[in-house]
Amino acid sequence: MRHKNIVVLGGGISGYGSAILAKKEGFEVFLSDSGTIAARFRERLDAWQVPYEEGGHTLERILAASEVIKSPGIPETAPVVRQIREAGIPVISEMEFAGRYMGRARCICITGSNGKTTTTSLIYKILRDAGMNVALGGNIGESFAYSVATGSYDWYVLELSSFQLDGMYRFRAHIGVLMNITPDHLDRYDHCFQNYADAKMRITQNMNSRDWFIYSGDDEVIWQQLPKYDLRMKQLPFAAKNAVASGAGDAFLCDGVFTATVGRRSVEIDTAKLRIKGLHNAYNAMAAALAALAAGVGEEQIRTSLYDFAPVEHRLEPVAERGGVLWINDSKATNVDSVYYALESMTRPVVWIAGGTDKGNDYTPLKEFARRKVHTLVCMGVNNAKLVREFTGVVPEVISTSSLDEAMRTARAAAREGDAVLLSPACASFDLFKNYENRGELFKQWVVENV
* Nearest-angstrom CA–CA distance, 318 and 312: 11
Domain of residue 330, residue span = 317-450
* Nearest-angstrom CA–CA distance, 413 and 177: 43
Average pLDDT over residues 316-340: 88
Average pLDDT over residues 327-343: 88
* Nearest-angstrom CA–CA distance, 434 and 438: 6
* Nearest-angstrom CA–CA distance, 266 and 258: 10
Total domains in the fold of the chain? 3
Q: Hey, which of 192-201, 234-243, 254-263, 273-282 has the most confident mean pLDDT?
A: 254-263
- Are 124 and 246 within one domain? yes
- Are 347 and 445 within one domain? yes
- Are 132 and 194 within one domain? yes
- Are 138 and 161 within one domain? yes
The answer, yes or no, to whether residue 1 has pLDDT greater than 50, is: no
Report yes or no: 241 and 232 within 8 Å, Cβ to Cβ: no
The answer, yes or no, to whether residue 322 has pLDDT greater than 80, is: yes
Of the candidates 241, 240, 291, which has an alpha carbon nearest to the alpha carbon of residue 262?
Answer: 291
* Nearest-angstrom CA–CA distance, 313 and 35: 27
For residue 103, what are the CA distances in angstroms to 149, 169, 305, 380? 11, 18, 28, 47
249, 282, 308 - which closes a domain: 308
Average pLDDT over residues 317-342: 88
- Are 387 and 278 within one domain? no
- Are 168 and 289 within one domain? yes
What CATH number has the domain bearing residue 159?
A: 3.40.1190.10
For residue 220, what are the CA distances in angstroms to 93, 155, 305? 29, 31, 30
pLDDT the model gives residue 272: 95
What is residue 425's three-state secondary structure? coil
Percent of the chain at pLDDT > 90 equals 67
pLDDT the model gives residue 315: 80
For residue 243, what are the CA distances in angstroms to 144, 216, 218? 36, 11, 9
Lowest mean pLDDT among 53-62, 185-194, 246-255, 423-432: 185-194
The answer, yes or no, to whether residue 245 has pLDDT greater than 90, is: no
pLDDT digits 0-9 by tens, 137-163: 987 778 999 999 999 999 999 999 888
69, 92, 115 - which closes a domain: 92
pLDDT the model gives residue 3: 54
- E strands of 340-439, at which residues? 350-354, 374-380, 397-401, 420-423
Of the candidates 344, 425, 335, 424, which has an alpha carbon nearest to the alpha carbon of residue 381?
Answer: 425
Of the candidates 388, 70, 119, which has an alpha carbon nearest to the alpha carbon of residue 238?
Answer: 119
Q: Which residues pair with 319 in a beta bridge?
A: none
- Are 249 and 264 within one domain? yes
pLDDT the model gives residue 103: 92
pTM, entire model: 0.74
277 vs 281 pLDDT, higher one:
281
- Are 81 and 144 within one domain? no
- Are 291 and 412 within one domain? no
- Are 82 and 125 within one domain? no
What CATH number has the domain bearing residue 329?
A: 3.90.190.20
- Are 331 and 352 within one domain? yes
290, 308, 326 - which closes a domain: 308
pLDDT the model gives residue 185: 57
pLDDT the model gives residue 6: 97
The answer, yes or no, to whether residue 127 has pLDDT greater than 60, is: yes
For residue 411, what are the CA distances in angstroms to 61, 87, 338, 340, 343? 51, 52, 21, 20, 16
Q: How confident is the model at residue 430 (pLDDT cuts 50, 70, 90)?
A: confident
What is the number of other CB atoms lying within 10 angstroms of the CB of residue 139? 19
Residue 33 burial (CB < 10 Å; 0-12/13-18/19+)? buried
- Are 143 and 230 within one domain? yes
Q: Hey, which of 23-27, 319-323, 360-364 has the most confident mean pLDDT?
A: 23-27
pLDDT digits 0-9 by tens, 176-214: 999 998 766 566 666 778 888 888 899 999 999 999 999
* Nearest-angstrom CA–CA distance, 446 and 422: 14
* Nearest-angstrom CA–CA distance, 138 and 168: 13
What CATH number has the domain bearing residue 29?
A: 3.40.50.720
